[in-house]
A and B are shown apart, each in its own frame.
Chain A
Amino acid sequence: MPTPHPKYRNSAAFYDVDGTLIRVNIVHAFSYYASRHASLATSALRTLRTAASVPVFWAADKLSRKWFNEIFYQSYAGASEDRLVMLADELFEDVIKPNIYPRAPELIADSRRAGCRQVLLSGALDFTMRPLAKYLGVDDLIANSLEFQDGYATGKLKKPFVAGATKADIMRGYARQHGIDLSESWAYSDSFSDFPMLAVVGHPTACNPDFRLLRVARSYDWPVLDLDEDPERAVSRRPRGLRRVRRTPE
């Protein structure tokens, strides 16, 4: 079989995770934790509080990813580290794994075959991402870490926050450390907020992009992937008037 192109020996592929490789995001993860409390009453209360906060989270995210992080991660204040880490495997099995986009594992496999180092670069919490990183077989995981005091979360993130322009800085540092040529590297994201991360590499790729990123990708001629499409079928670009072709029942 063909060997990878030698040019890609010093290349890396950086993947945003939420919305890019998986359908769920950090709010889903937090909701999972909120609904898994030992006391039924506390579970109900925290679930309701999370649901009520969603509009605030949404508005904060629209204004600034930094504000969003500060507000959102306050919700973790007081949670025990042991519990968060222990529930992470269940979170992966119950929430994350069923929501991995169907074409994401193959994208990573193709990229690895080309000789690129595989790196997840996520604004989610590191302990929630570790089982996913292991499942996808990536080389490195860079994610946000919660600050803990005496085994309990303070509700603050350790700096630097993995978000926005900081992602680009982290990628530059990673490249220096591992001898990676960013001009021959890839970045994959679904959101316009990750524009700096995409702009820093030679091969930016939009995956399931939001409207703003789609417009940018089209203007800069970046490839656009739809990882949510069933790999067995190619259903896009259906002419109007033709009925959707269904699989024959087994």
Chain B
Amino acid sequence: MRAIRPKTRASHREHVVTIDSDSAPRIMFSGERFLLEDLPIGTRVIYPRRPMTQVANPRAAIRYALSHPDGMEPLHALLSPGMKVTIAVDDISMPLPIMRTPDVRQLVLEAVCEMLADHGVDDVHIIIALGLHRRMHDWEIKRMVGPKVWADYWPDRLYNHDACDPDGMVVMGKTPHGELVELNRRAADSDLCIYVNLNFVPMNGGHKSMAVGLCGYESLKSHHTPKGIVASDSFMDPPNSFLTHSFVRQGRLVEKHVKVFHIETVLNNRIYDGPLSFLMKNEDNFTETDRLKFSAMKWALDKMPFAARRELLMRTPAGYELIGCWAGACEPVHEKVIAKSSEQYCVEVEGQADILICGIPFVSPYNVNSKALNPLLVQVMALGYFYHMYRGKSLLRDGGVLIITHPCSDRFDPVHHPSYIEFFNRILTETTDSYTLEKKYQDEFAYNPSYVEMYRRGNAYHGAHPFYMWYWGQRGREKVSRVIVVGADNVTVPSIMGWETAGSMAEAVAMARGTMGRSAQITMLHQPPIVMADVK
């Protein structure tokens, strides 16, 4: 892998570009297509930082972390022959899109499994810590853990977590705040748990790993609530996130009973490289070749059928690289990981925006290898993830207007998202009020035997998952005055979610200015890759 070393330290000016009369049009995602839009003069475009240089030798960095942990003894000192060890590992909801092989999780697992074998530890299970996400397909697991771990552990000692297994879950107790904590029985009964985390956004990792990855539905109910989301300002800013505080309480309770050795990794943001590296550039700096490449790609994607377009994008792996690995006790490790990921993802921005423009891509954490980014996931990307991409002060001011670009097609994947279909068509058309939905319908979906079966033995998200997706956008819904969709292929789907549609970006901006005034400050969040705003 070629590492591109930045010539200079990234500066504020490099990341915030103001559109003037000579500026090039900007590229933005619109599902499986790209749009090229002229933005109004004075619009700020926020670009991510350049990818940080990867560690020189990832395997050595991982081994160093295992031998020099924070707040715990080295891993080898915790091992003794005959002990029972459970390794929990993050699922493929991150990174997005899937990363090139070898996956960082493969590198960590190979190092850990080798160390366990060297110390005579044979009773080892590897559990994919799904929480209530869908079970990973076998070929996805093989790709993620690599051929060696696959050959040694699958299927008896490498499997998906099952939050609905009545014999496989155990109640650990309640936190001082009354939050129930359930945990995977195998993990709870182990002498040592090792959690292999891949940190992609600041919300992940830390106590969330054990408290959510190996939890049951009843314990997730404590924090995955509309109230919890509204109280998180933002959920990407751990100190100000209600969610994180709840994860910490639950995680601390788990670690009172179970010894957990955390291994956390941080990736850079090299989402596209090689022939697609132009997508990471400021459009004003495009060369003639870049423009030709983009035109060719756009033309080809526009001509392709939907399914082929989607497969092509989904099967183009990202070139993410390891920029840090830490191991040991949860809190000191996570503190270092958050600092490192903030260094990569956070960009300083002066002042809030009145109008925020976001291109919604084809992928979210919940539709990897699925047949579509369904409307609920479009909503979670817009009002959940992108709205919350800030620390301190929200990038879009309260009462501001959010403009997104996506076709918002009425497409769902019936294998991965069966409960989403009923939720969207039956429940959301009755009420969009999250508090009513939570009270009236959430348990009904969670205990629906068909959905339970599809979660436990098929590849479906848990029956309650679409509710969480809707709650995820609750703070955004309460703070944003209007959401305008550009490029929607229908008006029904946006209107069910309370959104408006516009035929073009110019029309959407005019509509937004109708609310926010002619002098409204417009900001575009340039994706890919991920960028978070530190608003001053």
Most buried by A among B138, B155, B160: B138
Residue of B nearest to A246 (CB): B138
Contacts of A221 in B (CB 8 A): 412, 414, 421-422, 425
Contacts of B154 in A (CB 8 A): 247-248
- Contact A106–B456 (Cβ < 8 Å): yes
Residue of B nearest to A108 (CB): B449
Q: Which of A69-77, A110-118, A144-152 has 4 or more CB atoms under 8 Å from chain B? A: A110-118
B447 is an interface residue with CB less than 8 A from chain A: yes
A107 to B369, CA, bound (A): 26
A103 is an interface residue with CB less than 8 A from chain B: yes
Q: Give the residue of B164, B171, B369, B454 whose beta carbon is less than 8 angstroms from that of A223.
A: B454
B319 is an interface residue with CB less than 8 A from chain A: no
Q: Give the residue of A5, A103, A205, A239 whose beta carbon is less than 8 angstroms from that of B446.
A: A5
Q: Which of B149-184 contact A (CB under 8 A)?
A: 151, 154-155, 159-160, 164, 166, 169, 171
Contacts of B166 in A (CB 8 A): 1, 113
Interface string of B427-451 (1 = CB under 8 A from A): 0000000000000000110111111
Q: Give the residue of A110, A218, A232 whose beta carbon is less than 8 angstroms from that of B449.
A: A110
- Contact B136–A248 (Cβ < 8 Å): no
- Contact B450–A5 (Cβ < 8 Å): no
- Contact A233–B155 (Cβ < 8 Å): yes
B103 is an interface residue with CB less than 8 A from chain A: no
- Contact B459–A248 (Cβ < 8 Å): no
A238 is an interface residue with CB less than 8 A from chain B: yes
- Contact B447–A234 (Cβ < 8 Å): no
- Contact A110–B453 (Cβ < 8 Å): yes
The number of chain A residues touching the other chain, given as a range, is: 35 or more
Interface string of B197-216 (1 = CB under 8 A from A): 00000000000000000001
B110 is an interface residue with CB less than 8 A from chain A: no
Given contacts A5-B446, A203-B448, contact A225 B458 (CB under 8 A): yes
B142 is an interface residue with CB less than 8 A from chain A: yes
A245 is an interface residue with CB less than 8 A from chain B: yes
Contacts of A203 in B (CB 8 A): 448, 450
User: How far does the Cβ of B481 sit from chain A's closest Cβ, in whole Å?
Assistant: 32
A231 is an interface residue with CB less than 8 A from chain B: yes
- Contact A223–B447 (Cβ < 8 Å): no
Given contacts A2-B216, A114-B449, contact A237 B137 (CB under 8 A): yes
B261 is an interface residue with CB less than 8 A from chain A: no
A226 is an interface residue with CB less than 8 A from chain B: yes
A174 is an interface residue with CB less than 8 A from chain B: no
- Contact A234–B136 (Cβ < 8 Å): yes
Interface string of A226-242 (1 = CB under 8 A from B): 10010111111111001
B418 is an interface residue with CB less than 8 A from chain A: yes
- Contact A233–B447 (Cβ < 8 Å): no
A-B contact pairs, 28 of them (CB 8 A): A4-B447, A5-B443, A5-B446, A107-B453, A110-B164, A110-B453, A113-B166, A113-B449, A114-B447, A205-B450, A218-B414, A221-B422, A225-B454, A225-B458, A226-B458, A232-B159, A234-B136, A234-B458, A234-B459, A235-B138, A238-B137, A239-B139, A239-B311, A239-B315, A239-B369, A245-B142, A247-B155, A248-B151
A contact set with B: CB distance below 8 Å: 1-2, 4-5, 7-8, 13, 103, 106-107, 110-111, 113-116, 186, 203, 205, 218, 221, 223-226, 229, 231-239, 242, 245, 247-248
Ordered nearest first, which 8 A-B pairs have the shortest CB separation? A111-B449, A5-B447, A231-B457, A221-B421, A205-B450, A223-B418, A110-B452, A5-B443
